[in-house]
Structure 1
């Protein structure tokens, strides 16, 4: 599908479903096949339990793609296992990059965090998404930066896929209320001041996403940016 046609489709979807609740959007996509074959991409981070819980009530066997960079906090790995068991999610797929030649010492993040993210996150995710026509994420406008203008539906540049952001217009209060209403477990590091959870070497305690890649201009890992070829790989 040409990019212009995909953009027009996303615009039509945004107009059609502008007022539909997040749960209903997920049902349209994952139960009724609105966008074709779809997957949820989850970091199993601080707010991830909301979408995961919603999806567990709609399609517990839906594919959930979890990128294990092998640099995550141990608490994130434990939380992933806990939520998958508690919500009875039967199709969590752990994605890992082959870094044996490109980053054998696990120090690439120190010299070139962009290349590290491209290698450990973007490349394995793009490969895993190849069979899908659409994917969903938990991004929200209140997270700021490039996310402040998020739409519910986006045309993903260069892939022909539609991206769904069911919680785009949710507020922090709504997130908290959902956790409380459904008695959802919190990521253990949120109590220690982590507003956003990523790879351990590149994440510090801070409000919101301010703790990601501190002292660098970098604000996104790359999986939500136009597709590029990781450094060291052929185009």
Structure 2
């Protein structure tokens, strides 16, 4: 079958970045959804400690926009409960869950402990591959990344192109203070684990509390030379160096 999805280019991203420079995220999202210029689009959310802001913004603009959650089957129970809370509170109409392939898990992570010796490989089969399946029918997707979260996310544009899809980072230039103000203004629910010191929440085995003065994402994969799960890391899939070691 011929792939007829729009193939966005860097020039398209540059044009959108210029067009919406200085425009607030709420207005930008309302305009984009009303124009329907980006084709089939969805939000990808981890339902982590800051996720409520983006989900609320999107739901206020158009509650029918799909929201995709990757359940790695290693999530905190609190995250799963928080997801249900936000979906109900914000009136999200199209929420879906994608999980790792059972056959792949049986072959590559039979005892469920791959995270303990190969976190990259674990992320590849539990998060990256399932999300790739979920994004297969999308022309564009919305991410909750913010530049302040870590040094790997500095200089984050609002619009970028990834594998021919437009990728939106509506909160890319928001600060922690901006997020806190939005939480307060709209009385948004907080993730239950945040009060315990978990400032960035991922899979339970690979998430720890953040100490005072640490990078907000320092609690992710602590002790490993790893700062991203892989879904936000541009790679050349044909390069053997970028293939997970199974």
What's the offset of the Cα at 1:181? 0.4
TM-align CA RMSD: 1.6
Selected match of 2:187 from 170, 183, 186: 183
Matched, 1:25 2:22: no
What are structure 2's unaligned runs of at least 5 residues? 238-242
TM value normalised by structure 2:
0.88
Structure 2 Cα separation of the partners of residues 124 and 31 of structure 1: 29
Residue 231 to residue 127, structure 1, CA distance change in 2 (3 Å): farther
Is the partner of 1:83 in helix, strand or coil?
Answer: helix
2:26–2:57 CA contact under 8 A, matched in 1 = yes
Selected match of 2:224 from 197, 212, 216: 216
What's the offset of the Cα at 1:34? 2.6
Q: Deviations over 1:177-196 (max 9, x none)?
A: 00000011100000001110
1:96–1:120 CA contact under 8 A, matched in 2 = yes
Is the partner of 1:86 in helix, strand or coil?
Answer: helix
Matched, 1:90 2:93: yes
Which residue pairs with 2:240 in the alignment? none
Selected match of 1:106 from 112, 121, 126: 112
Q: How many residue pairs were aligned?
A: 228
What's the offset of the Cα at 1:26? 1.6
Is the partner of 2:167 in helix, strand or coil?
Answer: strand
What's the offset of the Cα at 1:29? 2.9
Structure 1 Cα separation of the partners of residues 84 and 244 of structure 2: 29
Structure 1 Cα separation of the partners of residues 142 and 34 of structure 2: 13
Structure 2 Cα separation of the partners of residues 15 and 109 of structure 1: 41
Structure 2 Cα separation of the partners of residues 153 and 24 of structure 1: 15
What are structure 1's unaligned runs of at least 5 residues? none
1:141–1:168 CA contact under 8 A, matched in 2 = yes
Q: Deviations over 1:36-78 (max 9, x none)?
A: 1111000000000001111111211211110100101110000
TM value normalised by structure 1:
0.92
2:198–2:208 CA contact under 8 A, matched in 1 = yes
What's the offset of the Cα at 1:123? 0.5
What's the offset of the Cα at 1:13? 1.1
Structure 1 Cα separation of the partners of residues 117 and 244 of structure 2: 15
Is the partner of 1:100 in helix, strand or coil?
Answer: helix
Q: Deviations over 1:100-156 (max 9, x none)?
A: 322121111111100110111110111111111110111011112221110000111
What's the offset of the Cα at 1:213? 0.6
Matched, 1:167 2:165: no
